[in-house]
Chains A and B, each alone.
Chain A
Amino acid sequence: MSSITFQKVTKQYSKAGESKTVIDAVDLLIDDGEFTVFVGPSGCGKSTMLRMVAGLESITDGELLFDGERVNMLSPSERGIGMVFQSYALYPHMSVRDNIGFPLRMAGKLSKAEMKNAIDDVADMLEIEHLLEHKPGQLSGGQRQRVAIGRALVRKPRVFLLDEPLSNLDTALRVRMRLQLAEYHKKLGCTIIYVTHDQTEAMTLADKVVVLNGGHIEQVGSPRELYESPATRFVAEFIGSPKMNLLNAKVMSLSPSVAMLSVLGVPLSIETDTRGLVPGQTLSLGLRPEDLALGPAGGIAGQVMEREYMGPESLLYLSVREDSEPLLVRCPGSTEVGKDERVHVQINPERCYLFDDQGRAIPRSVMPSKRAVNSQAFAE
């Protein structure tokens, strides 16, 4: 087990004299035994970060420390890591037993019998004892997944790295494996870095989520912090499903702790830190679909363009103005609204997010975190 520290870690690829910065001076601390998830859109540098930890990618600049010790120059096998790849990368010509035993064979420290014990222990924990003599080609996706995990765990790594390990599985299996991963983590207590572009995985698994975007960190925090107080508009949009609605809000007037806004012509007063705001400025107002409710009259008016019925709840797509994106509203499944019906949406001023034109969150004097997290927000 160990902690991992990134100090101004930078990664550049140079091709034909031009260098491209992929990771830009990232600082990050991952605590011992923590389950950390790197999440972000495709190409943001998640894999690169992970591979730098693994030692598969050299670090252009900055320091990478394991337990305060610089590891930049250590080879992957010297760092004491285990890694699971997206494609599992099992050795196709070796049996499951030989696959799991390969790291032990390479280390060459154990006797034959000790190796067998170690393999059997891992296989036992992952419930793949009966598959030990099979070749990877004869296994299902989930079984291959577990073999890959077994191969990474068998050396008892200090750090356990997984790069999108579930993305090749079907939905049901993904949910099951997710639970199992959480269980393994509890059992082993090792430091885990897990890369995904799926925010549901990030929210359900992580102790700490690191949201990456374009080579830098947008926000680091617990799933709940990210959901309830996103530091940037990017994080707010990225976390939460369905996606947060963003509307333009014009600042009408300001008092020290209250801002009067006009949203789609509807006045709205919000308690917030108004320093740095000026009247006439346009802000982004973030509204989560689950924080909106249909009301009798007043509020924002819109016409139902589409209704997605999902049993316990329904998603409504409202057209609020010709040129803007539809407004998403999540309402109970029993709500009686039909297509093309005109409805009114109530905004709860306590459950609003404000972002300036740089996408930074404007601090609220009353944090929305008072309220329980809607657990359904993370359902598959």
Chain B
Amino acid sequence: MSATSSHRSFYGLILVAPFLVTLLVFFVYALIRALVYSFTDYNLFNEPEFVGLENFLGILKDKLFVTAFFNTVLFAVIVTSLQTLLALGLAVVIGGNFFGKQFFRVAFYVPSILSSAAVTLVFIWFYQNNGFLNGFLSDLVSHRRSLWILIAGFIFWWIALVAIYALRGRAVNWFDPALLLLSGFLSLLLCWGLSGSEFTTAEEAVVSVNWLGTQEYFGPLPRTMWAIVLQNIFTTVPTFMLLFLAGVQGIPKDLYEAATIDGASRWRQFLHITVPQLAPVTYVVVTFGVIGTLQMFDQVALMGEAAPLESRVTLAYYVYHSAFPPGGQPHVGIASASALILAAITLAVVYLQKLMGVREKANG
């Protein structure tokens, strides 16, 4: 090594030192300690005592851990798939650039930039027994007659308009946007015209679903978790949609033109052009989604006493709960062991993603 390069090495080490120190202390050292603690019995104050695999065996037998595990994994799978599909679908429906994007972008970004604490509190209010969601559902149910008329009117006008066109011997597409728009407009007119008549009188109805404070299951997840699923999707879908939208705009138009010439249907174009072309964006959305949802903690903690522990617990919360149980003895060993399991799941998912990402690129 000559003077110049050893000089550079020296400077490099100095420059990287602050980062290296934080990385070593807050990551490497912390990771090693977590590994060590997971094999010990430790309550933050005693001398850690080696207990072998007891912690791992213990949590596997703990019902709360099992609940947390399934809650977490199912939550991650459900939220990630729903938000990816929804975001992709919305982006494709919007399909590229449009005037006034600046304005809508603000609207779509806002939920995702705010703190999870603030958003969760708003949603807990939203989900209260006498909160907005139940109130809104009550209103919908009590105005069900108007709603039915609106829907029936729409279908009526739709069929009627198509029939008129067909009778006049014109080619007509069932999904012609102008036709649909006109039907919607006419059915609104109809509804407005009937307002005040007995067809549209509101009926007293009270919906009072207990969204949070319940142990009930809906499908694979507790209802409380579904409430969090909804909140999560609501905050992330608009942002991910914008990502997909940027991707959609980046797809060369001639691909679609070529496919149209080849006679491919729109659905086939979507499957064979849009989806593969968006693979890199999808990769990002799915990776972010999975990592974020697996570590879901804030919502659960803020939910607090509003919901029973069993119907909101996730792995991340289980870890925290074991380390700092309210008014109880800290179980650092159990917390570390379950944290390592969470880390293992996360890393496995990232690894799987990498593998699939590679295959995708190889195919493309």
Contact = CB atoms under 8 A, between A and B. Distances in A.
Direct contact of A and B (CB under 8 A): yes
Give the size category of B's interface with A. Answer: under 10
B171 interface: no
Contacts of B1: 58
B7 A59 contact: no
B102 interface: no
Contact of B3 (A56, A57, A60, A72): A72
Interface string B1-27: 111110100000000000000000000
A57 B3 CA distance: 10
A212 to B, nearest CB: 22
A266 interface: no
A72 B7 contact: no
Give the size category of A's interface with B. Answer: 10 to 19
Contacts of A60: 2
> Which secondary structure dominates chain A's binding surface?
loop
Interface string A72-83: 111100000000
A317 B261 CA distance: 49
Contacts of A73: 2-3
A223 interface: no
A73 B2 CA distance: 7
Nearest to A73: B3
Contacts of A55: 4
Nearest to B8: A58
Interface string A60-104: 100000000000111100000000000000000000000000000
A249 to B, nearest CB: 48
B142 to A, nearest CB: 65
A94 B5 CA distance: 29
Nearest to A55: B4
Nearest to B2: A58
Contacts of B7: 75
A56 B3 CA distance: 11
A69 to B, nearest CB: 15
A59 B2 CA distance: 7
Contacts of A74: 3
14 contacts: A55-B4, A56-B4, A57-B4, A58-B1, A58-B2, A58-B3, A58-B4, A58-B5, A60-B2, A72-B3, A73-B3, A75-B3, A75-B4, A75-B7
Interface of B: 1-5, 7
Interface of A: 55-60, 72-75
Given A56-B4, A73-B3, A75-B4, 11 more contacts: A58-B2, A58-B3, A58-B4, A58-B5, A59-B2, A72-B2, A72-B3, A73-B2, A74-B3, A75-B3, A75-B7
